[in-house]
Structure 1
Amino acid sequence: MKIVLLTFTLFLYGCGSINLHSYENTEPTFSLIQFFQGKTRAFGIVQDYSGEVTRRFTVTMTGELNADGALVLDEHFLYDDGQKQFRQWIIKRSEQGYLGRASDIVGIAKGEERGFAVQWQYEMDLAVDGDVYRVAFDDWMYRLDQNRAFNKAKIKKWGITVAEVTLFFEKTP
């Protein structure tokens, strides 16, 4: 019985996982460094484990290349409750894909692109109601056209999805 249950569980897990390579030849291609240069505005929501929207927010972003060719991406968040937050990413391309750092990111964020999709994974020290929780993000970004992209991220604690973030990006002049 244990073998049947384990096999069924592995089957379900395999059905639910997305394979980045299935986007290999899709258009338009998505380069994080290229897309986020200049000004971008984003609109998003956070949903808890039950699907209830717990936060709404906007983000204004400015991305510039530094002398090393890395993208310096400044993000200014404004939440529906008036809270403001700032995060600065330093993102560079490597042979393994993208590598990124920010002050609340634990270690190095790693990303990989295929066609119109980018998968971006990292651990973050996430502040919630005065407490800080170490969580794992599994971000999927999809380039819709020249000026817009869509992002869906799962936030996990001990391997269990505790929240999801949905975000729309739009380049601004």
Structure 2
Amino acid sequence: MAKCFLWIKKVSVLLMTVCLLSSCSADINDYKGTTPKFDLFEYFQGDIEAWGMVKDYTNKQTRRFHVNVRGEVDGDTLTLHEDFVYDDGETDTRVWTITRQGDGRYLGKAGDIIGDATGQVVGNALQWQYDFRLKTDEREIDVHFDDWMYRQDDRHLFNTTSITKWGVEVGEVTLFFTKQ
């Protein structure tokens, strides 16, 4: 009986720790008043070049890539054409259609995105969240992306992304953008 109680106590402490740590995350409102102000449509209109990498759950780099981005603004709609070239020679294209919702909020769609992506800008930061159909060698896996973009200056933008499955981080993406 004592062993059973000790086991329950250990499991309870572990569960409470996991719940506490999983509730610790940045809040977009933490960036109120930061500069330079991030205007999503202004930054992504035109030609942009980006470099990035993907790391797995062990923090091992698994892929590197280069992206050419072309953005076109038409009223409250931004269309982004992204052309990827990976370190193994694979290429991919994604086209985003992003609409301005007002009050710094955005809604986006793309072919491999499940449902709608939602985003909000505050200060120099954008939080962009969506579910993504990730293709692997063996199968397709639905994962959640939590993108954080930070405007550095007129030409540079940093992007970090947490990739999760069932609330557990399985990967991370880091990107650096330069406006041409």
Note whether the superposition's TM-score is higher than 0.5.
Answer: yes
- Structure-2 residue corresponding to 1:50: 58
Q: 2:172 aligns with which of 151, 161, 164?
A: 164
* 1:11 maps onto 2:20 in alignment: yes
- Structure-1 residue corresponding to 2:6: none
Q: Which has the larger radius of gyration?
A: 2
Q: 1:139 aligns with which of 147, 150, 158?
A: 147
The Cα offsets for residues 100-150 of structure 1, whole Å up to 9 and x where unpaired, read as: 000111110000011011000000111111521111100000011110000
CA distance in 2, matches of 1:142, 1:90: 20
CA distance in 2, matches of 1:75, 1:131: 23
- Worse-superposed segment, 130-139 or 33-42: 130-139
CA drift of 1:13 comes to: 2.9
Amino acid at match of 1:62: R
**1:22 aligns to what SS in structure 2?**
helix
Taking the TM superposition and a 5 Å limit, the aligned residue runs for 1:12-161 are 12-14=21-23, 16-66=24-74, 68-95=75-102, 97-161=105-169
Alignment RMSD, CA only?
1.6
TM-score relative to the length of structure 1: 0.92
Amino acid at match of 1:121: Q
The Cα offsets for residues 57-103 of structure 1, whole Å up to 9 and x where unpaired, read as: 0000000113x530010000000000000000001110361100001
Q: Structure 2: any 5+ residue segments left out of the alignment?
A: 1-8
Asked if 2 retains the 8 angstrom alpha-carbon contact of 1:36 and 1:62, the reply is yes
Asked if 2 retains the 8 angstrom alpha-carbon contact of 1:39 and 1:60, the reply is yes
Amino acid at match of 1:127: K
Percent identity for Structure 1 against Structure 2: 45
TM-score relative to the length of structure 2: 0.88
Q: Structure 1: any 5+ residue segments left out of the alignment?
A: none
CA distance in 2, matches of 1:126, 1:21: 30
CA distance in 2, matches of 1:87, 1:130: 21
Aligned length: 170
Asked if 2 retains the 8 angstrom alpha-carbon contact of 1:154 and 1:161, the reply is yes
CA drift of 1:6 comes to: 5.1
Asked if 2 retains the 8 angstrom alpha-carbon contact of 1:63 and 1:71, the reply is yes
Asked if 2 retains the 8 angstrom alpha-carbon contact of 1:33 and 1:91, the reply is no
